[in-house]
Amino acid sequence: MRALVRTAAAAATALALLLTGCGGGDDGESDGKITLRFQSLAWQKESVDINKRLVKEWNAAHPDVRVEYVQGSWDSVHDQLLTSFEGGEAPDIIHDASDDLADFAYGGYLADLRPLLPDALTEGIPRNSWETATFDGGIYGVPFLQEPRVLIANTKILEASGVRIPTPGKPWSWAEFRQVTRELTGEGRYGVAWPLKEPVSVTLNLGLSAGGELFHRGADGKVTVAMGEGDQVVPGTIHDQVNTDHSAARTALGMGGGDTLPGFFGGKYAMVPLGFSYRQQIVEQAPKGFEWTVLPAPAGRDGLAQGVSPQTLSVAEDSPHKKEAVEFIDFLLRPANMVRLAKGDWMLPTGTEALADPSLHTADRGWATGAALAASLRSAPAQSVRGYPEWKDKVATPALQEYYSGAIDAAELKKRLVTDGNRVLARYQR
């Protein structure tokens, strides 16, 4: 998922969206015809074009239920939606990510889709994916696109090193991965660059492979933070690569994923852990003749398991046309259309039939590697935790950044994530 950045600019973006597309204040009907507002967060040209084309196809086939395409932004979506919900101006159909839904679902802003979803759509998406958008027994979004985190490697450096090349069937363990990055490190080159400007989701999601959970729900339904042995494998590996082995670039810790690509293309980094969709940027930006490959992320005691927060489509609780909104979602996510959306965003579809499409299982550009990881994807650990955004922003992000840079040790990291974290979560669970 694209990181959600809550900045001062969010308020301005929210106001602009309200004034230019999300507002209206009526019931979406004119002359007996219904107009639904669909706020999309597609941002790459290919993806935007496909979304708009599908809207056009729907409108041509449904003259009495018109869909209006509204462009949103990942950078400000949480604050913009909150503003539109509270102002009674939310779009009918909402594109978001599952890890942003909990507070909206518990706050009563999103419709429970269970009585509206057609059987074919419900049965066509695996239970693991539905769990990412299920809160207190209700379903508040349809998960449709997901991306595993993979290792993008410089093929020439990898092959010249003589290290074992991992596959989804025989991945590296976390210990082997650490050793490999030492072997790939040389004069003017690091074995890996971890872009950790937003370190929390990376750490938690990859931690599932090592048995990490971090968030634990008790019999009373309340969630607490507890850091066990499995939770320490991933952060410990990254910390040691940076501060002990010097096989990971310290300067990359403050970077976003795209910021690492110039150094990767220039041979400064042998590998970069990135979301699956970054392949598109690599195809567009890599210098001529640059060879790269997609490898699975390391595996732990729970194999290749990793958490994901799929992109979702939800319906506003205040929408007067929930039935029609779900009918549009069902159209948008028909298997053939889901494949189109997935290829446009360079991600994996959640739907079983869509994922089986042969075009997503080719060796070209790593599609087959990504598809092989789909069965191991799980709901992100913090998916249904109320107060997670505050815990992430105020506690986990600064603590992990300091730990990865070597400013604090593992004991202090644990204290801050657990002790300070539980104080935050307690406020949301009184």
- What is the tens place of the pLDDT at every residue in 292-342? 999 999 999 999 999 999 999 999 999 999 999 999 999 999 999 999 999
Evaluate if residue 252 carries a pLDDT over 50. Answer: yes
Gap between the Cα atoms of 383 and 133, Å rounded: 8
CB 192 within 8 A of CB 247: yes
pLDDT band at 19; cut points 50, 70, 90: very low
Helical segments of 209-356, H only? 233-243, 261-265, 279-285, 322-332, 335-345, 352-355
Q: Which residue has the higher pLDDT, 373 or 7?
A: 373
CB 44 within 8 A of CB 98: no
User: What confidence score (pLDDT) does residue 383 get?
Assistant: 78
User: What confidence score (pLDDT) does residue 116 get?
Assistant: 97
Gap between the Cα atoms of 362 and 193, Å rounded: 27
Gap between the Cα atoms of 288 and 277, Å rounded: 20
User: What confidence score (pLDDT) does residue 25 get?
Assistant: 43
User: What confidence score (pLDDT) does residue 8 get?
Assistant: 41
- What is the tens place of the pLDDT at every residue in 330-377? 999 999 999 999 999 999 999 999 999 999 999 999 999 999 999 999
User: What confidence score (pLDDT) does residue 10 get?
Assistant: 44
User: What confidence score (pLDDT) does residue 28 get?
Assistant: 67
Q: Report, as an integer, the average pLDDT of 179-206.
A: 97
Among candidates 262, 247, 111, which has minimal Cα distance to 191?
247
Among candidates 227, 207, 223, 101, which has minimal Cα distance to 149?
207
Gap between the Cα atoms of 264 and 192, Å rounded: 9
Average pLDDT score, the chain: 92
CB 395 within 8 A of CB 378: no
Contacts of 407 (CB under 8 A, 6+ apart): none
Would you state the structure tokens that stand for residue 148, as one six-digit string? 């595993």
Among candidates 81, 140, 78, 138, which has minimal Cα distance to 110?
140
DSSP assignment of 128-185, as one string? HHHHTTEETTEE--EEEEE--EEEEEEHHHHHHHTPPPP-SSSPPBHHHHHHHHHHH-
- What is the tens place of the pLDDT at every residue in 106-124? 999 999 999 999 999 999 9
User: What confidence score (pLDDT) does residue 367 get?
Assistant: 97
- What is the tens place of the pLDDT at every residue in 77-111? 999 999 999 999 999 999 999 988 988 999 999 99
User: What confidence score (pLDDT) does residue 30 get?
Assistant: 62
